[in-house]
Amino acid sequence: MSSMEHYSYNRRKWVNRVMLGLCAGSAGISIMVLLFILGYILFHGISFLNLSLITNTAKPMGETGGGMRDEIIGTLILVALATAIGLPTGLMAGIFLSEFGGTKMASAIRFIADVLTGLPSIVVGVFAYAILVRPLHSFSALAGGVALSIIMIPIIARTSEESLRLVPNSLREAALALGISRWRTVLSVVIPGARTGIITGGLLATARIAGETAPLLFTSLGNYFGFQGVLKPISALPLSIYHKATSPYSVDKEQAWAASLLLILMVLIISIFVRWLASRGRAR
Amino acid sequence: MVVLNKPGIYNVGNNIINLKSKPVIITEQKGGFSVKSLNAWYGHFLAIKDITLDIPPKAITSLIGPSGCGKSTFIRCLNRMHEVTHGARVEGQVLLDGEDIYNKAADPVAIRSRVAMVFQKPNPFPAMSIFDNVAAGPKLRSFRSDRHELEEIVEQSLRQAALWDEVKDKLRQSGVSISGGQQQRLCIARALAVKPEVILMDEPCSALDPVATLKIEDLMQQLAQQYTIVIVTHNMQQAARVSDKAAFFLMGEDKAGSLVEYGDTNQLFTNPKDRRTEDYITGRFG
């Protein structure tokens, strides 16, 4: 080995080590941040997390005790509303983009969906306020659900488009060559092939909107009296975290910690469920 | 089906038959193609140019030629699969049993069930069982399907594809759990289940080992008694072994594929009329 070759070999080896170190360091930092947040909330929230928090309703301001049953139910209703609107719309948009997406219009829709994904969620809230709250003269669960579904649609559209695209073209051709119509091919061959990806995308979008606060500020507002119908204001976990964390009473602050922990647990359970589902899909 | 048992001259379909002694059974001669001045494009690229040839029913016709000569494009024009590719279009006529499949009133979905297709790489539906793969055609073509009827079609198709004995105990297993050769025969069974007149095969053995290839070739000869078979192959020995008719395609200077020579396989391989055919089959190029 000449000295020139030796020099370049050594240099390459060191560059490799430095880059590998940087990558490992960055990965470490991002995991540390997550662990720190989880640990911090766990540390503060765990002592206030008890059964009555889940089963009891809120007590009047300043009184100790009480739970967040209404907020939990509110969040579930909002998520259900958003999913009922967002899942079919997003999924069908994804099918359009992947299966019929060769046109200029499809590229435009794809671009708009990407822009929509990056839209600040508070803007979405203001939009829902303008189109639903003002005309109906009332804050409402419906407006909250619509706002959340607007955040959900582009995420589901793009993730389901991506997973549909992963289905090999040879399967579409196989089905078409059997004299199966286009829509039936999509429904019975392409979608089952992308099932795992579509479910993963849907659940991740659900987990994402479950924790959104900003769009709810102008739409579902919050409510101390439990669920009163979709056209009335409704309380939600993220909203009450926001309100209780800024309250002067220490009992409220404690509950904010506990509610944060509860919300993270809900999202975590969804994510773990998604992982489990995805790994099961691969194993088959 | 027509049974002729007395000597004499008969006109069956468009064929004049001079019967001297033995009785013959003539099955309905369906599944013949007559291709007239066929051009096919991908966008602005002309892939095949001015192809005219007649494909006889109930026989094996092989399409040979070097890569890029348009054999696959041509075969995909025979069941309107060419137009599935974005931007692809076709000009000219393809008569199937005398009717133009590119006629405005012709429905590509209906044509594809008369002209089934087997692809280069075995492509069973991975999310479906062996049973459901074979049943896919009849099941997904209608809104309701009778379980008992499907079972019959599946068994019959698998038997025809010489696969029944190997898979009859694992019909519930995934279509991709069997070997490559078995998967390809599963794809043939799947195509047979829609009761086609013609089976197109686009290099059906190129992903298979020699033993599996031999099985498919045997199968093709069995099937040719009932179906018209058109096969694209890179393997000239295969074309010589299995086919009755052979067509030699070549890419011209303008990159468009065209038909150089078409005739009986024996004649084409032993006594080619065109110099380029001779050069190709003797291995001087390609």
Q: What is the pLDDT of residues B89-126, one digit of tens each?
A: 999 999 999 899 999 889 999 999 999 999 999 999 99
User: Residue B68: pLDDT above 50?
Assistant: yes
* Rounded Cα gap, residues B15 and A81, in angstroms: 69
- Amino acid identity, position B199: I
Q: Which residue has the higher pLDDT, A60 or B269?
A: B269
- Amino acid identity, position A267: V
Q: How many helices (H) and strands (E) does chain B have?
A: 10, 14
Q: Which residue has the higher pLDDT, B263 or A229?
A: B263
Retrieve residue B151's tokens: 């079972």
Three-state SS at A284: coil
Residue with tokens 């003002």: A134
pLDDT at A46: 87
Q: Tell me whether residue B67 is exposed, middle or buried, using C-beta atoms within 10 angstroms of its C-beta: 0 to 12, 13 to 18, 19 or more.
A: exposed
Sign of CA dihedral A66, A72, A150, A136: negative
* Rounded Cα gap, residues A66 and A70, in angstroms: 11
Q: Tell me whether residue A213 is exposed, middle or buried, using C-beta atoms within 10 angstroms of its C-beta: 0 to 12, 13 to 18, 19 or more.
A: middle
pLDDT at A284: 44
Best mutation target, A100, A166, A178, to test chain B (most B CBs within 10 A): A178
Q: Which residue has the higher pLDDT, A61 or B51?
A: B51
Binary contact (A171, B113; C-beta < 8 A): no
| Residues A234 and A225: beta-carbon distance below 8 Å | no
Binary contact (B140, A102; C-beta < 8 A): no
CB pairs under 8 A between A and B: 75
Nearest to B136 among A102, A178, A284 (CB): A178
Q: Lowest-pLDDT range, B2-6, B141-145, B221-225, B276-280? A: B2-6
How close, in Å, is residue A276 to chain B by CA atoms?
A: 19
Binary contact (B140, A177; C-beta < 8 A): no
Sign of CA dihedral A163, A165, A168, A170: positive
pLDDT at A176: 94
In chain A, whose CA is at the least distance from the CA of B142?
A: A180
* Rounded Cα gap, residues A263 and A45, in angstroms: 11
Q: How many CB atoms lie within 10 A of CB B183?
A: 23
- Amino acid identity, position B216: I
| Residues A259 and A241: beta-carbon distance below 8 Å | yes
Q: pLDDT-based confidence at B25, cuts 50/70/90? A: low
Binary contact (B112, A178; C-beta < 8 A): yes
Across residues B41-49, what is the average pLDDT?
93
Residue A41: name the closest of A278, A275, A274, A259 by CA: A259
| Residues B201 and B229: beta-carbon distance below 8 Å | yes
- Who contacts B215 (Cβ-Cβ below 8 Å, separation ≥6)? B162, B181, B185
How close, in Å, is residue A283 to chain B by CA atoms?
A: 12
* Rounded Cα gap, residues B11 and A280, in angstroms: 63
**Residues of B whose CB is below 8 A from A176:** 81, 84, 112
Q: pLDDT-based confidence at B2, cuts 50/70/90? A: low
Q: What is the pLDDT of residues B139-184, one digit of tens each?
A: 998 877 788 999 999 999 999 999 999 999 999 999 999 999 999 9
Residue with tokens 């979405």: A124
Q: pLDDT-based confidence at B245, cuts 50/70/90? A: very high
* Rounded Cα gap, residues B282 and A19, in angstroms: 56
At B88, give phi and psi (nearest 5°): -90, 145
Residues of chain B contacting A, Cβ within 8 Å: 79, 81, 84, 86, 109-114, 116-117, 119, 121, 123-128, 136-137, 140-141, 174, 187, 190-191, 194
Total-model pTM: 0.80
Mean of the per-residue pLDDT values of chain B: 89
Residue with tokens 């929230």: A45
Binary contact (B79, A177; C-beta < 8 A): yes
Residue A78: name the closest of A165, A27, A142 by CA: A142
Across residues B24-36, what is the average pLDDT?
77
What percent of chain B has a predicted confidence (pLDDT) above 70? 91
Burial letters A139-170, b for 16+ CB under 10 A, else e:
bbbbbbbbbbbbbbbbbbbbbbbbbbbebeee
pLDDT at B248: 95
Sort residue B16 into left (φ over 0), alpha (ψ -120 to 50) or beta.
beta
Binary contact (B119, A177; C-beta < 8 A): yes
Q: What is the pLDDT of residues B182-217, one digit of tens each?
A: 999 999 999 999 999 999 999 999 888 999 999 999
pLDDT at B253: 85
Three-state SS at B35: strand
Binary contact (A175, B187; C-beta < 8 A): no
How close, in Å, is residue A222 to chain B by CA atoms?
A: 45
Residues of chain A with pLDDT under 50: 283-284
pLDDT at B58: 92
Interface predicted TM-score (ipTM) of this complex, two decimals? 0.85
Nearest to A171 among B81, B123, B174 (CB): B123
| Residues B246 and B61: beta-carbon distance below 8 Å | yes
